[in-house]
Structure 1
Amino acid sequence: METGEGAGTAAGADGPRFRFGCASFNQDSTSLAVGTRTGYKLFSLTMVEKLDCIHESAETPDVYIVERLFSSSLVVVVSAAMPQRMNIYHFKKGMEICSYSYPSSILAVQLNRQRLVVCLEESIYIHNIKDMKLLKTLLNVPSNPSGLCALSINHSNSYLGYPGSATIGEIIVYDANSLSAVTMVPAHHSPLAALAFNTSATKLASASERGTVIRVFSVPEGLRLFEFRRGMKRYVNISSLSFSLDSQFLCASSNTETVHIFKLEQVGPSGEDEADTWTSYVGKMFSAASSYLPAQVSGMMSQDRAFATVHLLSSGQRNVCSLVTIQKLPRLLVATADGQLFIYNLDPQDGGECQLAHKHRILGVDDDSEEGPEPGGSEVARQVQPSPSYAETAALPASGPVTATLTGYSEDGGTRKGEVIPEHELAVGPVCLDDENEFPPVSIQRC
Structure 2
Amino acid sequence: MSLGGGNSTEGSNAGGIFVQFNQDCTSLVAGSSSGYHLFALTPDDGVEEIYASRSGQETCLVDRLFSSSLVAIVTVSAPRKLIVCHYKKGTEICNYSYSNTILAVKLNRSRLIVCLEESLHIHNIRDMKILHTIRDTPPNPRGLCALSPCVDHCYVAYPGSSAVGEVQIFDAVHLNAKCVISAHDSPLAALAWSMCGRRLATASERGTVIRVFAVPERTRLYEFRRGVKRCVSIACLAFSACGAYLAATSNTETVHVFRLQEGGERAPDDAAAPPEPGWVDWMSQTLSAGLVYLPAQVSDVLSQGRAFASAKLPRAGCRAVAAVTNVSRAARLLVATSEGVLYVYALDAADGGDCALLRSHPLLDCAPPACDGRPGACVRRLTSCDVPAVAAGCSYAGALRGRHPDHMTESEREHELGAALAGSPPRGAYDIRDPRHFPPMRAPDAAAD
Q: TM-score, normalised by structure 2?
A: 0.84
- Pair 1:344 & 2:331 matched: no
CA distance in 2 between counterparts of 1:446 and 1:256 reads 37
C-alpha displacement of 1:392: 2.1
CA distance in 2 between counterparts of 1:435 and 1:19 reads 29
Cα offsets for 1:54-82 (capped at 9, x unmatched):
00011151101010000000001100110
Indicate the SS of the match to 2:285. helix
Opposite residue 79 of structure 2, the aligned amino acid is P
C-alpha displacement of 1:10: 4.3
CA distance in 2 between counterparts of 1:90 and 1:352 reads 42
The corresponding residue for 1:178 is: 174
The corresponding residue for 2:313 is: 312
Decide whether the 8 Å contact of 1:62 with 1:80 is kept in 2: yes
The corresponding residue for 1:301 is: 302
CA distance in 1 between counterparts of 2:78 and 2:57 reads 10
Opposite residue 418 of structure 1, the aligned amino acid is P
Decide whether the 8 Å contact of 2:21 with 2:28 is kept in 1: yes
- Pair 1:32 & 2:28 matched: yes
The corresponding residue for 2:5 is: 7
CA distance in 1 between counterparts of 2:408 and 2:176 reads 27
2:285 to 276, 280, 288: 280
Percent of aligned pairs with the same residue? Answer: 41
CA distance in 2 between counterparts of 1:82 and 1:242 reads 29
The corresponding residue for 1:86 is: 82
CA distance in 2 between counterparts of 1:242 and 1:163 reads 18
C-alpha displacement of 1:377: 3.7
Give the gaps of 5 or more residues in structure 1: 268-272, 394-406
Cα gap change, 1:48/1:414 in structure 2, threshold over 3 Å: closer, same or farther? farther
Decide whether the 8 Å contact of 1:38 with 1:61 is kept in 2: yes
- Pair 1:64 & 2:60 matched: yes
- Pair 1:431 & 2:416 matched: yes
Cα gap change, 1:148/1:306 in structure 2, threshold over 3 Å: closer, same or farther? same
Decide whether the 8 Å contact of 1:6 with 1:196 is kept in 2: no
Decide whether the 8 Å contact of 1:34 with 1:41 is kept in 2: yes
The corresponding residue for 1:356 is: 357
Indicate the SS of the match to 1:82. coil
CA distance in 2 between counterparts of 1:96 and 1:266 reads 45
Cα gap change, 1:233/1:383 in structure 2, threshold over 3 Å: closer, same or farther? closer
- Pair 1:246 & 2:239 matched: no
Name the stretch that deviates more: 154-163 or 376-385: 376-385
CA distance in 1 between counterparts of 2:54 and 2:321 reads 24
Root-mean-square deviation over aligned CA pairs:
2.9
Cα gap change, 1:72/1:305 in structure 2, threshold over 3 Å: closer, same or farther? same
The corresponding residue for 1:148 is: 144
Cα gap change, 1:137/1:29 in structure 2, threshold over 3 Å: closer, same or farther? same
2:397 to 377, 389, 409: 409
Indicate the SS of the match to 2:301. helix
The corresponding residue for 1:19 is: 16
Cα gap change, 1:113/1:64 in structure 2, threshold over 3 Å: closer, same or farther? same
C-alpha displacement of 1:274: 6.9
Cα gap change, 1:279/1:173 in structure 2, threshold over 3 Å: closer, same or farther? closer
Cα gap change, 1:8/1:155 in structure 2, threshold over 3 Å: closer, same or farther? same
The corresponding residue for 1:159 is: 155
C-alpha displacement of 1:445: 8.6
The corresponding residue for 2:261 is: 265
C-alpha displacement of 1:352: 0.2
- Pair 1:418 & 2:405 matched: yes
Give the gaps of 5 or more residues in structure 2: 264-275, 426-433, 438-449
The corresponding residue for 1:401 is: none
Cα gap change, 1:381/1:186 in structure 2, threshold over 3 Å: closer, same or farther? same
C-alpha displacement of 1:389: 1.9
CA distance in 2 between counterparts of 1:426 and 1:111 reads 22
Cα offsets for 1:17-57 (capped at 9, x unmatched):
5512x010000011110000010000001234432100001
Opposite residue 355 of structure 2, the aligned amino acid is C
Name the stretch that deviates more: 316-325 or 127-136: 316-325
Cα gap change, 1:82/1:116 in structure 2, threshold over 3 Å: closer, same or farther? same
C-alpha displacement of 1:94: 1.3
Cα offsets for 1:199-251 (capped at 9, x unmatched):
00111000001100000000111111100000013331110000011111100
CA distance in 2 between counterparts of 1:331 and 1:438 reads 24
1:129 to 122, 125, 132: 125
Q: TM-score, normalised by structure 1?
A: 0.85
- Pair 1:207 & 2:194 matched: no
Indicate the SS of the match to 2:114. strand
The corresponding residue for 1:189 is: 185
C-alpha displacement of 1:167: 0.9
Cα gap change, 1:66/1:87 in structure 2, threshold over 3 Å: closer, same or farther? same
CA distance in 2 between counterparts of 1:199 and 1:5 reads 18
CA distance in 2 between counterparts of 1:385 and 1:155 reads 33
C-alpha displacement of 1:363: 1.6
Cα gap change, 1:87/1:349 in structure 2, threshold over 3 Å: closer, same or farther? same
- Pair 1:335 & 2:333 matched: no
Cα gap change, 1:439/1:173 in structure 2, threshold over 3 Å: closer, same or farther? farther
Cα gap change, 1:348/1:77 in structure 2, threshold over 3 Å: closer, same or farther? same
Decide whether the 8 Å contact of 2:93 with 2:417 is kept in 1: no
Cα offsets for 1:405-442 (capped at 9, x unmatched):
xx5825x95662122689xx5653642527874489xx
CA distance in 1 between counterparts of 2:77 and 2:203 reads 31
CA distance in 1 between counterparts of 2:325 and 2:241 reads 7
CA distance in 1 between counterparts of 2:283 and 2:85 reads 57
C-alpha displacement of 1:266: 2.0
Decide whether the 8 Å contact of 1:11 with 1:64 is kept in 2: no
The corresponding residue for 2:103 is: 107
Cα offsets for 1:367-422 (capped at 9, x unmatched):
x7xx67787443242141533424525xxxxxxxxxxxxx5825x95662122689
C-alpha displacement of 1:302: 1.9
CA distance in 2 between counterparts of 1:338 and 1:278 reads 38
Indicate the SS of the match to 1:75. strand
